[in-house]
């Protein structure tokens, strides 16, 4: 499984966002919250999202964890196996945000988690913050 490369996802480079979520209301709210900032693509299932990701090559994917059929982690695994989608950064969207669950999500190579419910007014900012590459760690020493 390939790791997220922060150099490939600068905030200024995000133009296209794909949301994969089975809930009609969530898809509507996300579209409304993001469409003035990004071109938004919507998929209602994992398989539909994979096809859309291959076709549209989004800069980032928002992925629901709990969906019928192919769930979020299964969808993520398929996206990472596919050479056309393997390097697209993924953010999980879920109400399941216990510490153990977050640790599991991190092991799956997502770049972040957005907790449901979320504010559509803050969604673009949350997405941009999670996609922003972390600054390098600076080490300071008193030795001369």
Q: Is the pLDDT of residue 134 over 50?
A: yes
Instruction: Please name each of the domains of the chain with its CATH number.
Output: 6-129 (3.40.50.2300)
Alpha-carbon distance of 40 to 32, in angstroms, equals: 9
Alpha helices in 1-144 (DSSP H): 24-34, 46-56, 72-81, 99-107, 123-131
The H or E element that residue 91 is part of is strand 90-94
pLDDT for 16 equals 97
What pLDDT, in 10s, does the model give residues 6-62?
Answer: 344 444 579 999 999 999 999 999 999 999 999 999 999 999 999 999 999 999 999
Q: What is Dmax (Cα atoms) for the chain?
A: 61
pLDDT bracket for residue 135 (50, 70, 90): low
pLDDT tens sequence across 81-120: 999 999 999 999 998 877 888 888 888 889 989 999 999 9
Confidence band of 5 (pLDDT split at 50, 70, 90): very low
């Amino acid at each position: 499984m390939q790791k997220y490369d922060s150099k490939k996802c600068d905030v200024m480079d995000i133009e296209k966002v794909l949301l994969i979520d089975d809930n009609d209301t969530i898809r509507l709210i996300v579209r409304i919250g993001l469409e003035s900032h990004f071109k938004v693509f919507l998929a209602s299932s994992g398989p539909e999202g994979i096809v859309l990701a291959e076709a549209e090559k989004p800069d980032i994917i928002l992925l629901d964890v709990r969906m019928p059929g192919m769930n979020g982690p299964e969808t993520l695994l398929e996206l990472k196996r596919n050479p056309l989608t393997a390097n697209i950064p993924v953010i999980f969207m879920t109400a399941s945000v216990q510490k153990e669950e977050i640790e599991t999500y991190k092991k799956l190579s997502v770049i972040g988690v957005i907790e449901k419910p979320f504010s559509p007014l803050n969604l673009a900012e949350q997405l941009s913050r999670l996609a922003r590459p972390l600054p390098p760690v600076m080490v300071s020493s008193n030795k001369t």
